[in-house]
Structure 1
Amino acid sequence: MSKQEQVQIRLTTKQPKYSVNDAPILVPSTLKRYGLSELVNNLLDLDTHVPFEFLIDGEILRTSIAKYLAERHLSTENIVVIEYMESMLPPQKLASFQHDDWISSVKGYANNYLTGSYDNNVRLWNDSGECVYTLTGHKDAVKAVDIGLNQDGFLTIFSAGMDRKAMVWQITGDEPNLLYECNGHSDGIQCLTVSKSLSHFATASNDSTIRIWSNSAPTEDEASANVAHTKKKKRVENAGQIKTSATLLEGHIGAVNDIAFNEDQPNILYSGGWDHSIRSWDIDQQVNTMTKNCEKVVLAVDYSNYSGLIATGHTDSDIRLWDPRSEDGVNVKLSLRGHQKWVSSVSWAPQSAYTLCSGSYDGTVRVWDIRSKGSVYTMEEGQEKMFAVDWCDGRILSGGESQMLSIFETGSLSLSQS
């Protein structure tokens, strides 16, 4: 029997509680993830087995050490530095909440789950699966929702839809109060996003424009201009004031499908649309500061302030990662492939530079680590199209044609935080 080839490795980690002596050790070159995980557990002498992931040169190891080195024409005689971190366990489905129609948008905050639906309603759910509030007022499909806690400690809910208006609600007692609605778009609103401080929010529309709204009551001039309009209504549901003043951002050709704020710089907004472009905007200066073009329609946009990257979903079933700091007009940093149909929604994991989730018309939700060549986990949800995903507080929310809000537990996310 030939002697098994060995290779020298040095184990390192960014998680101090799992650190071992980083002196080089000889191991069989045939070791894969599970063998390396056993090795680290033995070195740590842990009472309870902990699964680990391993990276070489920033890429997750999915083969044996020998195959990894051979594929990259690297010598087995050199010391291989291998970084390890605790694995993220597979997402576990916690619950499903039935709706009356397709779900177009989902958003989570603490133990609250917000949905927008094609039945024109916005619904707020609690952890027990109880629909706490149904917010009525939209006259067409609700395409976007968002939620947050204002400075007074009250939940504030934002919604926008194909009726061309956005609505802002506050929950202060037994019933939600409609604070105001925003009018100005000339076609249906596709998306809405709120700044981290809730001081302002943005809407984007099929009319090719983006509008920035301050989260405050309409001015006296706006209110006076709309008195006659309000009096003409025979019935006003939970009536609020009408807001018309907004900062207008123009540049896209065709519908703007999604937008996302830069949380570190709330005056910076990213957008993507049917014109195949991803754009960066300075909302204070009202200028388009960066445009990156690709060959396919942009359906979904999300920004990670941890990695500084924009993730976009497209009609060719790919997810693309972009660096807005790059001056190159194309410069796709990475493409993630695995979905079989349009990628309709993307969401970065909170406090993560590496992990995101996506929803697709192929009916699946996938979890990705950008250091791996493929998706890490796939949650099969059926054949119905998936329209929306949101990763919040250790949970992934999803919704679509199945008329079901699905909630998955994702655990500690140690893998993405390393």
Structure 2
Amino acid sequence: MDSNDLIVNFITKDQRYAVPSIPVNIKSSSTGEEFDRIIKALIKDNNEKIALEQVEFDFIINGKLLRQTIDEFIKNENISTEIQIEIEYFVKCEPPKPHKSFLHDDWVASVDTIDEWILSGCYDSSAHIWNIKNGQHKIAIPAHTSSIKAVKWIRNGLRKNNQKYTFVTCSHDETAMLWIWDSKLNQVEHIFTYIGHCRSVECVDQHKDLIATGSYDNMLKIWSAIDPIDGDNNVNEGGDVEMKDISKKKLRSPAITMEGHKESISGCVWLNEQVPTVLTVSLDQTMKIWDIEIGEQKQSFTSSKSFLDVAYCPSTGNILTASCDRLIRIWDPRQNHGSLVKNVYSSHDAWISSVDWSPTNANLFVSASYDSTAKQWDIRSPMVPLYDLLGHQDKIMSINWSNEQFIVSGGADSQIKIFSCSL
């Protein structure tokens, strides 16, 4: 065996493409592309009829994707060549494909998806609902008196039935609003107006019948999203709608207010804990965890730069953060020792404005940046994203992957861009 040769063993969890577990000699200069050809040849030796023309494989060594020669990888990871190296392979996910684009009259600050519906919030103070598949603009709602900064569909059973959807809009006008949209009748009903913040409401998340908002007033507030009281129903129909005067009985004050941040709260997420728990990130470079049951801060972590967004992965408990230092970080706040930051991801050329996890694959996430690009990542490849999602002509303000089939982004070019994902 040549001194530049290595002995490896290829394994896979996908039994459709399994090969015999035997040692294979490879050149140390081999790359993932060459491994792909080796695996396909081994598969063909066992099954000549199998179709591999549309299949491409990715490779993992010690939990990280191979994105260089195996010799470079081994040196960077300090892997011993004295023992047989185990390489796991799997079918590479296909690149997301451009699907549709929607034009607004002003910047798109926030997007969210549920079922086949996109909810968007715009700087012209309007909210919009679109059909994600056919591109139909269902309704425009002039919801606020200033820019909308965040929107959120309500999940976990608060939807009354399959035709009615509840959502929240948050605005620079210092209010958040709760709405119900009847998708069959295409009617919007204003339920509550949440008052209590004294500056722009920047972020929102929901857990059961509780809504959390973060604001430029540095406050975290919790609100009730219970069913509306009987009485005045401000129902708006069809196309573009006009909101009637807000009656006093539709005004709601916060159930809980918590302070501790020194600057604006830029992101908030509910954590999957036994007691109601919210995690917030802020421009003050801190991340805080709050016990909503007792109304107190539980933990606080400090970073070197301001946070701009946060996302939570329920299946792993990992936290994804976006920062103005152009870096994405994955945190595990449950760690009792060592660094809470599990990995750092670098590829954007400007502030990272928004991040979101895949709803079905805990290894995948997306990011959006002021550099006008969005990117799809695998957590096992910190330095190189899987794919760049191009199309925006100005900074991207928000990205969402709530629907496993579509990645949706909105930006300062007044566009929503949709990319379809292969399942």
Cα deviations by residue, 1:129-174 (Å, 9 ceiling, x for unpaired)? 2210112231110111111452533211211111111111112333
- 8 Å contact kept, 1:344–1:387: yes
2:394 maps to 1:394:
no
Which residue in the other structure is 1:125 paired with? Answer: 130
- 8 Å contact kept, 1:307–1:352: no
The separation in 2 between residues aligned to 1:70 and 1:122, in whole angstroms, is: 52
Q: Which of 76, 79, 90 is equivalent to 2:81? A: 76
Give the CA deviation at 1:383.
4.7
The separation in 2 between residues aligned to 1:164 and 1:72, in whole angstroms, is: 50
User: Superposition pairs for residues 18-167 of structure 1, below 5 Å?
Assistant: 18-45=17-44, 46-49=50-53, 50-126=55-131, 127-148=133-154, 150-153=159-162, 154-167=164-177
- 8 Å contact kept, 1:20–1:43: yes
Give the CA deviation at 1:320.
1.6
The separation in 2 between residues aligned to 1:378 and 1:61, in whole angstroms, is: 18
State TM-score, norm by structure 2: 0.87
Which residue in the other structure is 1:349 paired with? Answer: 358
Distance change (3 Å), C-alpha of 1:72 and 1:254: closer
Give the CA deviation at 1:238.
8.0
The aligned amino acid for 1:199 is D
- 8 Å contact kept, 2:322–2:329: yes
The aligned amino acid for 1:79 is Q
Give the aligned CA root-mean-square deviation in angstroms.
2.4
Give the CA deviation at 1:42.
2.8
Which residue in the other structure is 2:11 paired with? Answer: 12
The separation in 2 between residues aligned to 1:213 and 1:367, in whole angstroms, is: 33
The separation in 2 between residues aligned to 1:210 and 1:328, in whole angstroms, is: 28
Secondary structure, counterpart of 1:375 in structure 2: coil
Which residue in the other structure is 1:416 paired with? Answer: none
Which residue in the other structure is 1:194 paired with? Answer: 206
Unaligned runs of 5+ in 1: 224-234, 413-418
Aligned residue pair count: 397
Distance change (3 Å), C-alpha of 1:321 and 1:74: closer
Secondary structure, counterpart of 1:41 in structure 2: helix
The aligned amino acid for 1:409 is S
User: Superposition pairs for residues 274-285 of structure 1, below 5 Å?
Assistant: 274-285=283-294
The separation in 1 between residues aligned to 2:186 and 2:67, in whole angstroms, is: 52
User: Superposition pairs for residues 245-260 of structure 1, below 5 Å?
Assistant: 245-260=254-269
Distance change (3 Å), C-alpha of 1:208 and 1:218: farther
The aligned amino acid for 1:137 is A
Q: Which of 319, 344, 348 is equivalent to 1:339? A: 348
- Farther off after superposition, 174-183 or 61-70: 61-70
Secondary structure, counterpart of 2:151 in structure 1: strand
Cα deviations by residue, 1:167-221 (Å, 9 ceiling, x for unpaired)? 11112333111122211111110011122xx42211111111111112114679x
State TM-score, norm by structure 1: 0.88
Q: Which of 296, 320, 332 is equivalent to 1:287? A: 296
Unaligned runs of 5+ in 2: 45-49, 232-242
Cα deviations by residue, 1:104-144 (Å, 9 ceiling, x for unpaired)? 00111121111000010110000222210112231110111
The aligned amino acid for 1:113 is I
The separation in 1 between residues aligned to 2:199 and 2:119, in whole angstroms, is: 24
The separation in 2 between residues aligned to 1:275 and 1:410, in whole angstroms, is: 36
Cα deviations by residue, 1:305-353 (Å, 9 ceiling, x for unpaired)? 2332111111111112211102469632222111111111111111222
Give the CA deviation at 1:244.
1.4
The aligned amino acid for 1:190 is E
2:193 maps to 1:181:
yes
- 8 Å contact kept, 1:347–1:358: yes
Cα deviations by residue, 1:18-60 (Å, 9 ceiling, x for unpaired)? 3332232223333211121222223333313311110110111
Secondary structure, counterpart of 1:260 in structure 2: strand
Distance change (3 Å), C-alpha of 1:382 and 1:116: closer
The aligned amino acid for 1:119 is D
Residue identity (%): 28
2:420 maps to 1:409:
yes
Give the CA deviation at 1:298.
0.8
- 8 Å contact kept, 1:301–1:312: yes
- Farther off after superposition, 313-322 or 44-53: 44-53
The separation in 1 between residues aligned to 2:76 and 2:317, in whole angstroms, is: 30
